[in-house]
Amino acid sequence: MTTLEKTHALSIQNREEFWGQQAHRIHWESPHDKVLEFDHPPFAKWFVGGRTNLCYNAVDRWLKTQADQAALIWVSTEVNKEIVFTRSDLFREVNAFAAMLKAQGVSEGDRVLIYMPMIPSAVFAMLACARIGAIHSVVFGGFASVNLAQRIDDAQPTVIVSADAGSRAGKVTPYKPLLDKAISLCNSPPKAVIIEDRGLHEMNWVDGRDQDYASLREQYLGQTVDVTWLESSQPSYILYTSGTTGRPKGVQRDTGGYAVALATSMEYIYDGHPGETFLCTSDIGWVVGHSYIVYGPLIAGMATILYEGTPVRPDGGILWRLVQDYKVSVMFSAPTAIRVLKKQDPELLGKYDLSSLRALYMAGEPLDEPTATWISQGLGKPVIDNYWQTETGWPILAAQPGIEKRPTRFGSPSFPVYGYDVKILDEQTGQELGAGQKGVVAIFPPLPPGAMSTVWGDDERFVQTYFTSIPGRQVYSTFDWGLVDQDGYWFILGRTDDVINVAGHRLGTREIEESVNSHPAIAESAVVGVSDALKGQVAVAFVVLKQPERFDVVTGQPALAKEIMRVVDDQLGAVARPAAIQFVTALPKTRSGKVLRRAIVAVCEGRDPGDLTTIEDPATLEQIQKHT
């Protein structure tokens, strides 16, 4: 067995020994009595009886050795500002925020909803909640009022923290009007709202409820707030999963298990070390932002970059400029962001000194081989795919260079991560499948430390949603298709609900996309299954070209469409050939970069695409409509 395999085997066969060793990575105010309590499957409690605090581990613990070193680096290409906060600065700002929250009546176990752009006060608010034992719930900035109201009613926050507005690609999105409307729709409105006025958009203040962050900060700056030590299993935050309908589904995360899981992942998975700089291009509204912008790097003693902006403003070299200027050693991004960069000037990749960068990590969606090849060759650095979910909080599948450096394969997130007893199961029988066989990616409980402990306020929903879909097995379903090749490398083939049925043939749209994207003229594509009276469903591909000017609409595009179909024929067979190839200038995406496939299907089928408040550019969906 390799070192990686031995480590994984130990983490499954002797969980208490493995995680007991990892627990030493963080500060415990009082030690745990028991590593794992699993008396009521599938519910697991980790480091039972131990008391710790996320804020202390992220900030206070490093003051002795890193007081004057960079901790939080804010870069905004939207308002052209760059501010470096040392660990001491961070301590001061977080304590001031904690003091103002306590002054509003927030105490241990209370919820604080954070509806913020990518600005430093959002991070201060998160860490301040952790410091005083409050439970934060970050909602992606600019989220629609109705959806925001649902989350407010579910979490019932004592205080909401927000801002006048956010900005993306130079376009201002007013937050305050959306928040005011959401609160008016609520059954459980908050007692107070703290607003940071960035001067981006006019807003109305509600007397007796709204308070100015700058004034409060001035009042409380310099105060030190005692750390509230939490039992390991007490909740640290609630994060609502995207795309929920009806009552929101709040992923509840513990405290001690999450801290240990992140601390371990920073070394074993991301090969990060104290004093280095970590760049994650996600948003704090998503799980990646929670784990690897805020908590993970800071707990590991690293500086973290908080970036407000797009990958192409002022130009396609901005991310590489950040790597150079702040000597980033580890970068974490999404395939969508890299595909956007494929359409930029290729010389930008070689313009900056990237000698500090050891590797580029990718997650959030499957990493297609053409994109991985392009960026790997361009950077001359390892590109490492990893796979996980909001629910797990940290990777399920990944290369783990901090344990053992193994070759990676493009298109594969490599191997199961320690702590995850993950298998490929037949969705109909629940039987474990062999190499090369497609099935559902499932995790046998207990879920490891840091994974969701339950659905907020609804234990039964936790069980019914995640642990009942595989016949005869109480296992966690990821609702993703996957397979393992003969050499043990894992591949994710898309959501189980992304499988389409064409004349009795079950096809993964993800596989078809991979094939379409392999054509050298294609920058990216989205393949969706559209209802068809004859075949049940047919695949339709919406394609973005690298150089659209090269292909005339009348002659060039039809000829290219035939070429693409031939590629699919050759790679997957004629049954997987899209019924149509439609050329568009951009795909409809959320602000976090995820393609709105369900909205595309709805438009293609003449249905209402639903709430599109998180769409980056509504005009892209109008393009889709023109092609249907």
pLDDT of residue 187: 93
Q: Which of 343, 340, 388, 380 lies closest to 362, judged by CA?
A: 388
279: helix, strand or coil:
strand
What pLDDT sits at residue 436?
Answer: 95
Whether 192 and 285 map to the same domain: the answer is: yes
Which of 361, 387, 419 is where one domain is finished?
419
Could you tell me if residue 444 is inside a domain? no
Q: Span 304-320, mean pLDDT?
A: 95
Asked if residue 126 belongs to a domain, the reply is yes
Q: List beta partners, residue 373.
A: none
N residues, the chain: 628
Domain of 14, in residue numbers: 3-419
4-14 in b/e burial notation, b at 16+ Cβ within 10 A? Answer: beebbeebbee
- 568 domain residue, yes or no: yes
441 occurs within a structural domain: no
Which is more confidently placed, 277 or 615?
Answer: 277
- Tokens representing 41 are 């499957």
Asked if 380 contacts 357 with a C-beta cutoff of 8 angstroms, the reply is no
- Condensed to tens digits (0 to 9), the pLDDT of residues 477-500 reads 998 899 999 999 999 987 776 777
448 in any annotated domain: no
Q: Domain containing 415 — which CATH number?
A: 3.40.50.12780
13 inside domain: yes
For residues 253 and 205, the answer to whether their CB atoms sit within 8 Å is no
Residues 82 and 202 in one domain: yes
For residue 455, list its beta bridge partners: 251
Rounded Cα distance, 75 and 82, in Å: 4
Judge whether residue 288 has pLDDT over 60.
yes
Write down which residue in 386, 419, 452 finishes a domain. Answer: 419
Is residue 16 in a domain?
yes
Structurally, the chain folds into a number of domains equal to: 2
Q: Is the pLDDT of residue 533 over 90?
A: no
Residue 576's CATH number: 3.30.300.30
Same domain for 512 and 414, yes or no, is: no
Residue 561: the pLDDT is: 94
Residue from 278, 288, 233 nearest 259 by CA: 233
Is 402 found in the same domain as 541? Answer: no
Q: What is the mean pLDDT of residues 452-468?
A: 96
300, 57 in Cβ contact below 8 A?
Answer: no
User: Which run of H or E residues covers position 570?
Assistant: helix 556-572
In a domain, 437, yes or no: no
Q: Which residues pair with 531 in a beta bridge?
A: 537
DSSP 8-state assignment for residue 376? H
> Concatenated DSSP letters for 473-540?
---EEEEEEEEE-TTS-EEEEEEGGGEEEETTEEEEHHHHHHHHHTSTTEEEEEEEEEEETTTEEEEE
Cβ–Cβ < 8 Å for 522, 546: yes
Q: What is the pLDDT of residues 82-138, one digit of tens each?
A: 999 999 999 999 999 999 999 999 999 999 999 999 999 999 999 999 999 999 999
Among residues 384, 401, 419, the one where a domain terminates is: 419
Distance of alpha carbon 396 from the chain centroid: 13
Closest CA to 578 of 514, 483, 487, 521: 514
pTM of the prediction? 0.86
Residue-wise pLDDT tens digits, 218-253: 999 999 999 999 999 999 999 998 543 457 889 999
Q: Could you tell me the sign of the dihedral formed by the alpha carbons of 237, 241, 246, 252, in that order?
A: negative
Cis check: omega of the bond before 42, within 30 degrees of 0:
yes
Q: Which residues pair with 332 in a beta bridge?
A: 280, 361
